[in-house]
């Protein structure tokens, strides 16, 4: 049997999983989403992802029909039904069907959950490190769109930034906020190591506070590293001892060159390697059983 997709309470084959052309997510990018990893049949940090999804929907005023606990079970059931070993779960929620900007035209949310394989960075990038370039596209200011909401519409800027990075063949694009401070990569959070201290931009820099980001902060502190959330500029990136990115797809990946500047010794640093190992150990043994 082929893969099934959850759509508003029903399981349907992938080829039959379709939403209306009047759906607000399609028409206006009006909705929220989560991407979640599955390791060895276990869904990683599922509760945290579902909690963030429900917070996003609350902020966007998109009512969900069932409690968060029900969504957790729905994801676990789908992972089991689709026999997902190592893979990806994508939950997409839109405001629902209705033409026109007024949210009142939408009577109920559209909820879609699907599973798939995950395209990771090539193995050599984890071994040798990424080359990153700073892009001109800025992250949206918090005055315009709340960065803690993982919304459908927000990611147009990230896509434009990714296009910029692709044009020059870089592994990732680094985005600044409107004040010129370093914010995040197109799909990942950024960390620096300077004089033994790990630093990363705070949420008020305009970043999405990633689940992997928070996991790595916890791991680093448990291993005795000092982690500080603070604003920093490209000067700090260029002069860092080490740099790495974190994300659901990326996990923990070293950065060895930014805007043609070599970071540290130009190879993945010891702190980065230590945290990569710790994260792999965690994902190999901790999760939510499907």
pTM: predicted TM-score of the whole model, two decimal places: 0.93
CATH 3.30.470.10 in the chain is located at 4-116
Q: What are phi and psi of 193, to 5 degrees?
A: -120, 120
Q: What are phi and psi of 163, to 5 degrees?
A: -60, -45
Res. 287: pLDDT tops 50? no
In tens, the pLDDT along 65-122 reads 999 999 999 999 999 999 999 999 999 999 999 999 999 999 999 999 999 998 778 8
Torsion, CA 17, CA 22, CA 25, CA 31, rounded to 10: -110
Q: What are phi and psi of 2, to 5 degrees?
A: -75, 175
Res. 290: pLDDT tops 80? no
Respond yes or no: is residue 80 known to be catalytic: no
Q: Are 108 and 5 in contact (CB under 8 A)?
A: no
CATH number belonging to domain 123-284 = 3.20.10.10
pLDDT at 289: 46
Give the least confident one: 84-93, 149-158, 191-200: 149-158
In tens, the pLDDT along 219-270 reads 999 999 999 999 999 999 999 999 999 999 999 999 999 999 999 999 999 9
Q: Are 98 and 24 in contact (CB under 8 A)?
A: yes
In tens, the pLDDT along 114-141 reads 999 987 788 999 999 999 999 999 998 8
Per-residue confidence band for 153, with pLDDT thresholds at 50, 70 and 90: confident
pLDDT at 279: 97
Instruction: Spot the catalytic one: 45, 80, 150, 223.
Output: 150
Q: How far apart are CA 149 and CA 61, in angstroms?
A: 12
- 53 token code pair: 């999804």
CATH 3.20.10.10 in the chain is located at 123-284
β-pairing, 110-116 vs 226-229, is unpaired
Q: How far apart are CA 63 and CA 60, in angstroms?
A: 9
Mean pLDDT of the chain: 94
In tens, the pLDDT along 162-189 reads 999 999 999 999 999 999 999 999 999 9
* Answer CATH for 4-116 from 3.40.50.670, 3.30.1490.20, 3.40.50.10420, 3.30.470.10: 3.30.470.10
């Amino acid at each position: 049997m082929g893969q099934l997709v959850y759509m508003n309470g029903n399981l349907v084959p992938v080829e039959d999983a379709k939403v209306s052309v009047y759906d607000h997510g399609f028409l206006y990018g009006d909705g929220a989403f989560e991407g979640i990893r599955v390791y060895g049949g276990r869904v990683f940090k599922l509760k945290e992802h579902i909690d963030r999804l429900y917070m996003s929907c609350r902020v966007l005023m998109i009512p969900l029909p069932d409690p968060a606990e029900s969504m957790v079970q729905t994801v676990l059931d789908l992972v089991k039904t689709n026999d997902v070993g190592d893979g990806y779960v994508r939950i997409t929620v839109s405001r629902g069907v209705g033409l026109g900007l007024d949210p009142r035209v939408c009577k109920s949310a559209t909820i879609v959950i699907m599973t798939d394989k995950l395209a990771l960075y090539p193995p050599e990038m984890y071994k040798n490190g990424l080359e990153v370039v700073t892009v001109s596209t800025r992250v949206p200011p918090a005055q315009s769109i709340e960065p803690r909401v993982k919304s459908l519409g927000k990611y147009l800027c990230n896509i434009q930034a990714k296009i910029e990075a692709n044009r020059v063949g870089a592994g990732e694009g680094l985005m600044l906020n409107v004040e010129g401070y370093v914010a995040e990569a197109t799909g990942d959070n950024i960390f620096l190591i300077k004089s033994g201290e790990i630093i990363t931009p705070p949420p008020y820099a305009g970043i999405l506070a990633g689940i992997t980001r928070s996991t790595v902060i916890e791991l680093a502190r448990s291993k005795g590293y000092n982690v500080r959330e603070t604003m920093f500029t490209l000067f700090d990136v260029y002069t860092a001892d080490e740099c790495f990115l974190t994300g659901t797809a990326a996990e923990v990946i070293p950065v060895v060159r930014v805007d043609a500047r070599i970071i540290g010794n130009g190879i993945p640093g010891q702190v980065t390697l230590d945290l990569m190992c710790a994260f792999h150990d965690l994902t190999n043994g901790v999760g939510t059983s499907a």
